[in-house]
Structure 1
Amino acid sequence: MEFSHDDNYSLPLSKFESMLKTNNILFFDSEEFENIIHHYLNHGKMSLAKKAIKLGLEQHPTSINLKLFNVEIYVFENKLIQADALLNELYLIDPNNEEIFIQKANILSKKDEHELAINVLKQALTLTDDVVDLYSLIGMEHLFLDQYEEAKLFFIKCLEEDQQDYSALYNIMYCFDFLEQTDEAIKYLNTFLDTNPYSEVAWHQLGTQYYNKKNYKKALSAFDFAIISDDSFVGAYLEKGKVLEKLKRFEAAIESYTFTLKLDDPTSFALLRIGYCYEKLKKDDLAVQYYYKTVHEDPLLDKGWVAITKFYNKKKNFQKALYYINKAINIDSENISYWKLYAQINMRLSLFEEAEHGLKKALELGNYELNTWLTRGDLLIKLGESQTAIYNFEQAAEFYPENAEIEYRLAGLYFSLNEIDKGTFHLKNGLSSNEDYTFIIDELFPEVTNKIQVKNLLKTKL
C-alpha cells in the first residue's frame, strides 16, 4: 500500500520519519511497518526500507512478512545465499505461505534456473486463490526460456482472470508477434473484444495486426473503435494517421496527427509525419515548417534532420542539404543510408574527396552493394588515387567475382600503370564475362584505348 499526504497512512510514515530524526523509539504494529517498507521500496529508498525492516523486526521478531521483506532486499543486493537461507528457515515455520515460493522462484530465476523457478511457482499456485500474478510470473519465466507458446498460454490465463490486465494483453501480443501468428492474434483479439467491446487497448492491438497484414481498411476501423472507446488515446490517433497515409488520405492523416498535439505535449513523431503529409500534398512551405518544428521539439531526432536534408536535396539546394545531413550524421554516425546521402550531395557539389569519404564509411559499415564499390572506385580514379582504387575493386571482386564492370575497371587501372600482364588478365576476364561493357575503358581510361595491347585484345574479341 502506498502512502500519500491525503490518506490515513501518511500518519505512520510521518511518525516513522520523525522517530528517525529524534532517535526516540516509537511503537508501530507489524502492518504499519509493512506499509512503510512497501512505500520505501516502491520509491527506491533502499536505505530507509532497510532501517524500517530492522526496527520492525526488533519490535516484531516473529513476523514472517517483515522477514520476507528482508529476503527481497537480499535478492535486490544479489545476496542470494543469505536470501535462500532465510527462505528455508521461513518455509519450516510456514510451509503454506505462497510468498515464500515466489521469492524462492525469484532467486532461481536470478540464477538462470528458469525451469526450476516454474516448478516452484506452480507449487505456489496450489496455495492461493490470487493466481493472476503467479500466472504472469510463470509466463515471464517461459519467455526467459524462449518458450513463447507456453508463455502465451499463461498470459492468456492472466487475462482470463483479470480482463483489465493490459500488461498481460501486451505480453500475449508479443508472443503472437514473435511466433509470426498474425491470423491467430487477430482471431484471439476478436474473441476477446466480443466480451470486452470497449477495450481500447485490444482495439489498438487489433489495428496493429491488420496494419501488419496491410489490410488498411480494417486497421482504420479498429483504430476508430479504439478512439471511440477512449477519445484521449494518443497512440490510436498516431496509428490511425499512419494508416491514412498508406491510403494516401493525407489531409485526414494530418487531422489525426494534429489531434494528438491537442491531447498531449507535441511529439516529434507526429510533427515529422505532418511534415511528410504536407510534402505529399505539395505544400512545401508547411512541410518544411513542420520539419523544423520536429527538430526544435527533439534536436537529437536524426530522422528530422534527414527529412530537412531530403527536402533541400529535392529542391537542388545542395549546400543546405549538406549542412543538415551533417547534423544527422553527428547524431547517428553508424547509419549507412546517411553516409550514402552525404556522398550523393557532395558529388553534386563536386566535392569528390568528401563524397569518396562518405562511400568509404558506408562500405566500412557493411554496405557491400555493387554500386557503392563502383562509385567509390570511380571517384578514386577521378582523384588520381589509382592504387587505392585497385584495392577497392579487388575487395569488390571478392563479393562479385567475374563481374565485368569490376574487371574492365581493374584492366584500365593496371594498363594505366603499365602493368601489362595484370591489365591483360583483367581485360580478358571482362571480355569473357560481358563484351557490352567495353565502353568503360573508353570513358574512364581514354589514354589506355590507344595502347597496342588493348587495341589487339579488343579487335580479337570483336
Structure 2
Amino acid sequence: MESNKDNADRYASEAKDAINFGDYDKAISNIERAIKASPRDVSYHLIKADALYKKGDYEGALDALNFAETLDRNNPELHSLKSICYGSIGKFRESKDEAIKAIKADPNYPFAYYNKAKSEQYLEEYEEAKKDLQKYLELQPNDPDAYLDLAEMSYNEGDYKNALQNVNTAIRKDKENTDAHDLKLNILLAKKDIESYLKELLEAFKDTEDFKYIGTLVDTLKNVGSYDTAEDILKEFIKIYKGEPFLYDALARVYYDEDRKDDAYKTYEDLLSANGDREAKIYWFDFLLDDGSFDRLIEEINKSGLNDDEVLEIKYLAEDQKGDHQSALETAKELINLDRSPYNISLYGSQLRKLGKLDESIKALSEYENDPDVSYEMFLTYMDKDQAKTASKYLKNSIENSEEDDDIISNVLEGVSKMIDKSDFQSVNDFLDSLNDKSDDISILVDTMRAINSGVFESYEKGKEKLLRIDEHKEEVCEFANNIVQLTEGKARSFLEKFIEQNCDSEDQED
C-alpha cells in the first residue's frame, strides 16, 4: 500500500511530465494532489509555481512562491523563479531584489546572476548587467543567450567590435539561433560592411535553412541593380532545393521586376510541375493578384478546388479589385460561413457599401462595431451617407483600437484625407485635436494632417509653413512627404504633390 509520501511523489512526477508536454492544467491538478498529501514539501510548491508561470498566470505563480517562502526563506530556485515572475509583469526592481536574494542563498546558483542581469538591462543599469552576465558565464559558459545579451548591449552602445565578438560566440554555440544571426546582420549594416553583410546572409541560411535570409539577399541585390547575380543565386539554390516554392517565387519576381513577364510565368509553370501542393499554388495565386490578372486568377482558384479561408480571401481581393462587387459579396459570405470573425464581417460590409446598400452595410457591421477593421468600414459607410460627424467617431475608434502601427498610419492618413474632402476646416481640426491623447507614435501624423488641412482650407503657403516646421531639416520633411503621399487622397494628396514638386529636389523624391 502506498504511503502519502509515495502518492505525493507520483503526483509530482506526473505533474512534471505534464509540464514537459505543455498540459499545464493537468500539471496543476496533479501537483495540487501532491501538495494535499504532503503540504510542507517546498519542491511541490515550486512545481506548481512553474506550471502557473508557464501557463501565463504570473500572479498565481507568485502566490504559490510566497507561500513556499514561508516554508523555506533561503531557497535559491524559489527566489530565482520569483525574479522571473516579477520580470514578466514588468516589476524589474522587484525582479532584481529577488535575484539578489537567490545569490545570497547560493552564490554558485548560476541562473540568479542571469535573472539579475536581465532585470538590470530593463532598468538601464548596463554596466552591472554586463558584470552579472560575465559571472553567469563563468558558471554556465555554453549558454548562447548570455553572449547574445552582451552583444545587444554593445550594439546599442555603438560598440560594434565587442558586439560582433559576442554575437559570433553566440552563433558558434548555437548555429540555428536566428536572433543571433539577425543581430549580426544589423551590426554589419551599422558598420556599413556590405560585403560581410551579404556573406552573413548566406551563412545564416546555411546554419538555419530559413529562407528569409535568401529573400533578404535577393532584395538587397535587386536594390543595387544586380538582377543577374540574384537570378544566378536563386537558380543554384533551386538545383539544391528543387520544388521549394519560396525560391521559384523569388526568381519569378526577379524576372518580373526586369519586365521579363514571360520568364516569370514560365518559372511558376516549372514550380507547379515540380510541386503541385497547396503552398506552391498560393504563391502562384498571389503573383496573379499582384499582376492584376484577376480573371485568370479566379479561373485558377476554381480549377484548383481549394476553398479555405486564405484562398477565398485572395479570390475576394481579385473580385473586389476588378470591380465585381456582387461576386465579392458572395465570396465574403463564404468566408463568414467558415469564420464569423470581425475581419470577415468587415469584408462583407465593404461590398454592401460598394453596391450602394449603405443601411444594410451598417446593420451587418454593427455586430462588431468596436473592432478596428469594422470601425473603419463603418467610417467609410457613414462618409458615403454624408454623415461626417458620425463617421469621425468610428474613425477615432479604429485608430485608438488598432494594435498594428501600419493600420494606425493608414487610418489616420486615408481617413483624415476623406474628411478633408467632405468636411470643413474646423471639424477636421477638432478631430485631430481629439487624437492628441494618443501615444507619441502618431503625433507627427496628426501634425502633418493639421498642416495639410491648413494648406487645403486656409492657404497653400500656410500649410507649407506648418509642414516644414515638422522637422528642422527640410530634406527629412521631403522624405516623409514622399513616403506618405500614396496613402493620402483627394485634396490632401493634391496639396502634398504640390508641396513635393515645389520644395523637394529630385534626390529627396528618390529617397
What's the TM-score bracket when you normalise by the shorter of the two chains?
0.5 to 0.7
Please state how far the C-alpha of 1:100 moved relative to its aligned partner.
1.9
Please state how far the C-alpha of 1:109 moved relative to its aligned partner.
1.4
Query: Take 2:289 and 2:26, find their aligned partners in 1: how far apart are those partners?
Result: 52
Local SS of the residue matching 1:274? helix
Deviations 1:133-180 (A, max 9, x none): 111121233344465564344222211222122221122223334555
Give the one of 392, 400, 404 matched to 2:459.
392
- Partner AA of 2:254 in structure 1: V
Cα 1:337/1:166, change in 2 over 3 Å: same
Please tell me whether the aligned partners of residues 142 and 173 of structure 2 are also in contact (alpha carbons under 8 angstroms): no
Give runs of aligned pairs for residues 148-163 of structure 1, distance below 5 A: 150-163=162-175
Deviations 1:226-255 (A, max 9, x none): 666667866555544432322333304655
**Structure 2 segments unaligned to the other structure (5+ residues):** 1-12, 326-350, 356-375, 381-406, 430-444, 468-511
Cα 1:115/1:308, change in 2 over 3 Å: farther
Please tell me whether the aligned partners of residues 241 and 256 of structure 1 are also in contact (alpha carbons under 8 angstroms): no
Query: Take 2:44 and 2:249, find their aligned partners in 1: how far apart are those partners?
Result: 45
Does residue 1:68 correspond to 2:74, yes or no?
no
Query: Take 2:257 and 2:177, find their aligned partners in 1: how far apart are those partners?
Result: 32
Give runs of aligned pairs for residues 264-343 of structure 1, distance below 5 A: 264=279, 271-277=285-291, 279=292, 283=293, 285-286=295-296, 297=310, 308=321, 323=354, 330=380, 332-335=410-413
Cα 1:11/1:273, change in 2 over 3 Å: closer
Cα 1:134/1:298, change in 2 over 3 Å: same
> Quick one: percent identity of the two aligned structures?
12
Please tell me whether the aligned partners of residues 71 and 87 of structure 1 are also in contact (alpha carbons under 8 angstroms): yes
Please state how far the C-alpha of 1:224 moved relative to its aligned partner.
5.2
User: 2:224 — aligned with what?
Assistant: 213
User: 2:489 — aligned with what?
Assistant: none
- Partner AA of 1:112 in structure 2: E
Query: Take 2:91 and 2:208, find their aligned partners in 1: how far apart are those partners?
Result: 47
Does residue 1:245 correspond to 2:256, yes or no?
yes
Deviations 1:6-63 (A, max 9, x none): 8987899846524537972437977776555444323312244335434655666543
Which is higher, the Rg of structure 1 or of structure 2?
1
Give the one of 102, 109, 128 matched to 2:140.
128
Query: Take 1:83 and 1:176, find their aligned partners in 2: how far apart are those partners?
Result: 34
TM-score (structure 1 length as normaliser): 0.55
Query: Take 1:213 and 1:93, find their aligned partners in 2: how far apart are those partners?
Result: 58
Deviations 1:86-112 (A, max 9, x none): 333332342233322211212211212
TM-score (structure 2 length as normaliser): 0.51
- Partner AA of 2:104 in structure 1: L
Please state how far the C-alpha of 1:66 moved relative to its aligned partner.
2.2
Does residue 1:44 correspond to 2:56, yes or no?
yes
Deviations 1:357-395 (A, max 9, x none): 9xx9999856999xxx8xx7xxxxxxxxxxx6xx43544
- Partner AA of 1:308 in structure 2: Q
Deviations 1:283-312 (A, max 9, x none): 55226779999xx859999x9599927999
Please tell me whether the aligned partners of residues 234 and 263 of structure 1 are also in contact (alpha carbons under 8 angstroms): no
User: 2:438 — aligned with what?
Assistant: none
Moved more, 119-128 or 33-42: 33-42
User: 1:186 — aligned with what?
Assistant: 198
Cα 1:367/1:304, change in 2 over 3 Å: farther
Cα 1:82/1:8, change in 2 over 3 Å: closer
Deviations 1:263-290 (A, max 9, x none): 55987x874432233x4xxx55226779
Deviations 1:46-83 (A, max 9, x none): 24433543465566654311221012122333444443
**Structure 1 segments unaligned to the other structure (5+ residues):** 313-319, 344-352, 377-387, 401-462
Please tell me whether the aligned partners of residues 102 and 124 of structure 1 are also in contact (alpha carbons under 8 angstroms): yes
Query: Take 2:46 and 2:99, find their aligned partners in 1: how far apart are those partners?
Result: 18
CA RMSD for the aligned pairs? 5.7
